[in-house]
Amino acid sequence: MNAATRVFLFFSAGYFVSYIFRGLNIGFAPFLTREMGLTAADLGSLTSLYFLGFAVTQIPAGAALDTWGPRRVTAALMMVAALGSLVFGLADGLIPMMAGRVLIGVGVAVCMGAGLQALAQHFPAHRIPLLNGALIAIGGLGGAFVGTPLALLLDVASWRTISTGLAIFTMAVAGMIWFGATDAKAVPRKKERPSVWAQFRGTWELLCSVPFWKLSLFPSVSGGMFYAVQSLWMKPYLLDVSQAGLAQTDALVSLMGLAAVCGSLMSGGLARRFERLGVSLVVFNGACLGMFVAIQALIMLDASIPKSILWTCFGLFGACCVLIFAIFVTRYPPAMWGRANTTFNMLVFFMIFAVQNVIGWIVERWDPIVPGVYPAEAHLTAWSCLLALQLACAIWYFWPSPGRTAAPSGALQRVGGGG
């Protein structure tokens, strides 16, 4: 096996691990509720801490990748994730479990970005789009794993045993990346990489830019809803509101995960086809996210459409929020692409953190029917609030602007430095 192939396989495995950790609590939730006495708000807070740890790590980790390279940074951080999984599995209360989830989020924060960086360093440019898509698809299979495969595993092993096993598996993948992958050959740099402070300053100026928010708010809020549901709240919704059976629920979780992989891979190609027909990327992205909002409404209304179709469309359209990265390329100068991508990633993961907590807090306003089971009205109220928020963001997204959206300010352009 040549060096480039090892880089692809080992970094793909790292992103797969990251995705499993992201949605693990969707399978663990009933057991955590029963054994640890967790409420809906507890589950929302516990699961969301992965995304908080992930979000706050983005900027310093980006500087670390530029300084020490993807092999060293990914392997080192994945050891932190392994420690977090071990802490989570051995925890005897909510606080140490929360600490474990934060460590996991920090530990896998670079898995996708480092993988894409490593591929760019080891493969010719004409192969990068296909390989990037393949790495994202392999990682996305982790979203399918937390459905039926995880349910079958929980029939023969406890959530504590699985957490310990994942810690060992994560260490093994970290070892493969450290010892099996290779560093790119040193390339002379024309200029210094940006400092962490420069990255924070660039992020702050983007967050103070109204055009950036106009482009990013709708995709980030909808992305927050999508990933919050995929990683935790889909299963309780299906069981409590749709009255689906456990086996059907697990199958739908896996089906939606596979649909999200397809949505991520297909949306870019479809966007380019529509662009040739005169439909801009901004409009196409907004239309896809609008369909995602409509699918949520149909799910809430219990439309007479097979659940398999509704949740497949939920995954297909929910994953389209990644189209924003292609829009940034058209709206910002090259020196700002990395900064815009990093800022949007951070924003999405903060949104996931917020949405998971908001759903948990709203659902808990109702008394549980039995521990871990809440009235349908509780879930529907939470989803309705978030649906209204997405609709408001959609109106602003499509509202005509007096000038071209997203031209960065002069001050913003001066904070350049690749990403």
pTM as predicted = 0.83
Q: Where in the chain is the domain with CATH 1.20.1250.20?
A: 1-185, 194-400
What is the fold of 194-400?
Growth Hormone; Chain: A; (1.20.1250)
The whole-number mean pLDDT for each consecutive block of 10 residues of the chain, a chain of 419 residues, reads 90 94 92 91 92 88 80 95 97 95 95 85 76 81 90 95 97 96 65 64 83 93 94 94 93 92 79 82 92 97 95 93 79 72 85 94 93 93 97 94 52 36
How far apart are the C-alpha atoms of 130 and 314, rounded to whole Å? 24
pLDDT of residue 363: 95
Distance of alpha carbon 189 from alpha carbon 173, whole angstroms: 30
pLDDT at 192: 55
* pLDDT at position 405: 44
CATH of 1-185, one of 1.10.275.10, 1.20.1250.20, 3.40.50.300, 3.40.640.10: 1.20.1250.20
pLDDT at 185: 65
Give the separation between CA 79 and CA 270, rounded to whole angstroms. 38
Nearby residues of 357 by Cβ (< 8 Å), 6 or more positions away: 41, 44, 45, 48
d(CA 347, CA 224): 9
- The token pair at 221 is 């809020």
- Give the Cα separation of 274 and 383 in Å (integer): 31
